[in-house]
Amino acid sequence: MNKKILAGLCLWSVSSVAIPVLAADSDPQQCLECHEPIEDWAGMTPEQIIEAARAPDNKRHEANMALTDEQLRLIIGVLIPPK
């Protein structure tokens, strides 16, 4: 099989799995309404971001309370890709 087609197929199968997972509740867009992740969360580890995202004293974060660590991790992985 032609290599380009093979690579295309791989990409397609990867994204068709990843997109439904992200589309559910872990839509990175919900953080972008208020945040500029690269600037706002500079120097923070994913663990610190998850903790801050669910800190109960932040009224603006009410929607985040419903998210699991796993969902937040997915979102954060998209917004600030690991180097």
Most distant CA atoms of the chain, gap in Å: 57
Minimum CB–partner distance for residue 8 and ligand HEC (Å) = 32
57 near ligand HEC, rule: CB under 6 A? no
74 near ligand HEC, rule: CB under 6 A? no
Interface with ligand HEC by CB under 6 A: which range of 3-11, 16-24, 57-65? 57-65
49 near ligand HEC, rule: CB under 6 A? yes
Measure the CA–CA gap between 2 and 78, rounded to whole angstroms: 31
Matching residue, tokens 């992200």: 22
| Nearest in space to 79 (alpha carbons), one of 22, 38, 20, 51 | 38
Matching residue, tokens 């971001």: 49
Please report, as ranges, the residues that interact with ligand HEC according to CB under 6 A.
30-31, 33-35, 40-41, 49, 52-53, 58, 60-61, 64, 72, 75
